Amino acid sequence: MFDGQSILITGGTGSFGTRFVRRALDDTRAERVIVFSRDECKQHQMREAFGPATNPRLRWFIGDVRDRERLYRALDGVDVVIHAAAMKQVPSCEYNPLEAVKTNVLGASNLIDAAIDRRVGRVLALSTDKACNPVNLYGATKLCADKLFVAANCYSGEHGTTFSLIRYGNVFGSRGSVVPKFVEIARRAEQTVFPVTHPGMTRFWLSLDDAVTHVLWALTVGQGGDTYVPRMRSSTMRDLTTAIDPNAEIHLTGLRPGEKMHETIIPADETCHVVEYSDHFTIMAPDREFRPTDDGSLCDGDWAYTSENAEKMSVDDLQGLLHGAFPREECFA
């Protein structure tokens, strides 16, 4: 589907962006893969890691989604955009709320305008479980951005740009998340002590490769205004710590501001628009009517998809993700 096309990914030097770019170069015949990000140091490190052999197809754009004019320049001749740029650290967003709004909300608005005016064909934005019934600013800004992307389909008009979303949970081992923090604690300490908010807290997990696979799939099927939610499994924090170091002690810290015990990825009040398939759910655009299919059915009302009621991962499953995300010598399971 990408033959001869130009793909741009915002936030392209992040954990997801780096893996997506590698897959796009290896598995597609895209003419150009453009990394758009604001950190020149990370771009330099990424160029060094990818090597000169990929340079004929790989492009680098220093820029910030807050900068509308820079986006207009970057999207010239682009066919597909994956929007992964965001402020995502919950405590950082709580402490710097206006900065989160500028990046996550105004940045989304800038991208929408630039994509429409530059006649980009498809835009897929990465959502998050934190956007469902948000209790923190990060989730609230992502919910607002989600609404902007859905509504953008109503005014792209003759320009023909379609906007869709994919929503998933925590990517196992992504930079700045709890898993690499715990792995580092286990690697350095003689007696591991993990700071845990609550042992019964649950979170959705998926591997980085699975996240990229889901995004590539969503780009092939995406209809404007739809949100795609892959089926995922979850685990408790207790099982996560056991997978990393079964002999570790746990120091209970209590929930931080803006944290939930369990994450929701499809809230009950959206169920009337949800179509269930064997491997994913589709939250339809509000103006789209469901037409029965062989493998999809409209969900019943008063149901929510949460990390509490999702299929649980075993400790062995978590250790498999652990060994896939980190060098084997860094794993302590």
What pLDDT does residue 120 have?
96
Distance CA 129, CA 132 (A): 6
Is this structure's pTM higher than 0.75? Answer: yes
Helix spans in 35-106 (H): 40-50, 68-74, 90-95, 97-100
| CATH class belonging to 6-167 | alpha beta
* Predicted pLDDT at 7: 97
Highest-pLDDT range among 62-71, 150-159, 215-224: 62-71
Q: Decide: 35 and 195 in contact? Cβ < 8 Å.
A: no
88, 130, 142, 260: the catalytic one is 130
The whole-number pLDDT of residue 332 equals 43
Average pLDDT over residues 295-315: 88
**Does the annotation count 102 as an active-site position?**
no
Please choose, from the candidates 199, 235, 229, 166, the residue with its C-alpha nearest in 3D space to the C-alpha of residue 20.
166
Q: How confident is the model at residue 131, as a pLDDT?
A: 94
Which of the listed ranges 48-52, 175-179, 207-211 does the model predict with the highest average pLDDT? 207-211
- pLDDT tens per residue across span 221-276: 878 899 999 999 999 999 999 999 999 999 999 888 788 999 999 998 888 889 98
Residues 43-76: b if buried by 16+ CB within 10 A, e if exposed = beebbeebeeeeeebbbbbebbbeeeebbeebbe
Structural domain boundaries in the chain: 6-167, 178-204+232-279+287-330
Write out the E strands in 185-329.
193-196, 202-206, 227-230, 233-236, 249-252, 264-266, 274-276, 280-283, 297-298, 305-306
The verdict on domain 178-204+232-279+287-330 having CATH code 3.90.25.30 is yes
What gap in Å lies between CA 104 and CA 258, rounded to an integer? 17
pLDDT at 270: 86
| CA triple 97-101-105, angle to 5 deg | 160
Residue 119 pLDDT grade (very low, low, confident, very high; cuts 50, 70, 90): very high
Output the pLDDT for position 331: 45
pLDDT in tens, 185-224: 888 877 889 999 999 999 999 999 999 999 999 998 878 8
At 81 the pLDDT is 98
147 and 167 Cβ atoms separated by less than 8 Å: no
Q: Which pLDDT value is given to residue 175?
A: 78
- The whole-number pLDDT of residue 289 equals 76
Q: Which range in 1-5, 178-182, 312-316 is most confidently predicted, on average pLDDT?
A: 312-316
Q: So what's the pLDDT on residue 74? A: 97
